[in-house]
Amino acid sequence: MMDLLVKITASVSANAIIWFARFITAVRGTWVNITPSRRKRVYFANHTSNGDFILLWTVLPAHIRKTTRPVAAADYWITSKLKTFIGRHVVKAVLIDRNPKTRTEDPIEMILAALDQGSSLILFPEGRRNMTNEKMLPFKPGLFHLAENRPEVELVPCWIENLNRVLPKGEIIPIPFACTVRFGAPMHLQKGEGKQAFLARAEQQVLALSPANGGNDG
């Protein structure tokens, strides 16, 4: 009974979140050299706002959204009851502990386990929100380990445009801005490709989708 109640509340909340995101951002997904698919994928994107994965999640077709889970920081998501509920039941986040000293489970293992259970994932390889004037922070090595261990999984670069303007850090009122999520061609680890080379290529793929680099939709 309780389970059912949680399920219903979670599904209603998911829809409310999606409609709110659409109302504020009129978000649209643009698929460049790739089509939406149920195939097992890891979507990796630039990270400027806590709403990033909600936006990415919103533009995924519903049947794909159902099996796609964000990888998120436990220290952010388990701070209040509401956030814990959303994190655990609504978006079913893979919650990882960013602090190597306190953590009991290896984040990479958790991510691989989630993939093996059949989920696709949303990942922000910068590791934290980008508050600088740079377009992106350097990627953490997690994406590389993932590509190495699960070579069959498609790694899909994504660019999220404008969301940082909706709700800059420290503000509480979201401002409606038209936002876009752009998906690029899937990539894999190439034979003999080293960690640095792979991460640099991944960063390049994401940046190539940003509007200043011709990622604007014709």
Partner 1 sequence: MDSYQTNLFTLFSGLAAVLIIASLIGFVLARRQPADSDSNVIENLNARIKAWWVMIAVIGLAFVWGRHGVILLFGYLSFAGLREFIALTNTKRADHLVLAAAFYIVLPLQYFFIWIDWYGMFSIFIPVYAYLLLPIVAVLRGEVKNFLIRVAEVQWALMITVYCVSYVPALLSLDIVGYEGQNILLIAFLVLVVQSSDVLQYVWGKLVGKVKIAPRLSPSKTVEGFAGGVLSATLVGACLWWMTPFGFFQAGLLALVISLMGFFGGLVMSAIKRDRGIKDWGNTIAGHGGFIDRLDSVIFSAPIFFHIVRFYWSV
Tell me the two tokens of residue 191. Answer: 């034979």
Q: Rounded to 5 degrees, what are φ and ψ at 97? A: -90, 120
Question: Does 151 engage in binding with partner 1 (CB under 8 A)?
Answer: no
Q: Is 178 in the site for partner 1 (CB under 8 A)?
A: yes
58 Cβ contact partners less than 8 Å away, ≥ 6 residues apart: 17, 18, 21, 22, 27, 65
Please identify which residue in 79, 176, 194, 200 interacts with partner 1, judged by CB under 8 A.
Answer: 176
- What percent of the residues of the chain are helix, what percent strand, and what percent coil, each to the nearest 5? 40, 15, 45
Q: Answer yes or no: are the C-beta atoms of 41 and 153 closer than 8 Å.
A: yes
Distance CA 145, CA 139 (A): 12
- Contacting partner 1 (CB under 8 A), which of 17, 28, 127, 195? 28
Number of residues that bind partner 1 (CB under 8 A): 15
The 3-state DSSP class for residue 139 equals: coil
Q: Which region among 9-17, 68-76, 137-145, 167-175 touches partner 1 (by CB under 8 A)?
A: 167-175
Q: Smallest distance, Å, CB 23 to partner 1?
A: 9
Instruction: Say whether residue 133 binds partner 1 (CB under 8 A).
Output: no
Query: Residue 63 CB, nearest distance to partner 1 (Å)?
Result: 22
In the complex, the smallest distance separating the C-beta of residue 167 from partner 1, rounded to whole angstroms, is 9
Pairwise CA distance, residues 52 & 204, whole Å: 19
Distance, in Å, from the CA atom of 79 to the CA atom of 49, rounded to the nearest integer, reads 17
Question: Segment contacting partner 1 (CB under 8 A): 39-47, 101-109, 162-170, 200-208?
Answer: 162-170
Comparison of 100 and 170: residue with beta carbon closer to partner 1: 170
175 interacts with partner 1 by CB under 8 A: yes
Q: Which is nearer to partner 1, 158 or 179 (CB)?
A: 179
Residue 217 is a binding residue for partner 1 (CB under 8 A): yes
Q: How far apart are CA 33 and CA 133, in angstroms?
A: 29
Is residue 162 near partner 1 by the rule CB under 8 A? yes
End-to-end CA distance of the chain: 51
- The residues that touch partner 1, with contacts defined as CB under 8 A, are 26, 28, 162, 165, 168, 171, 173, 175-179, 216-218
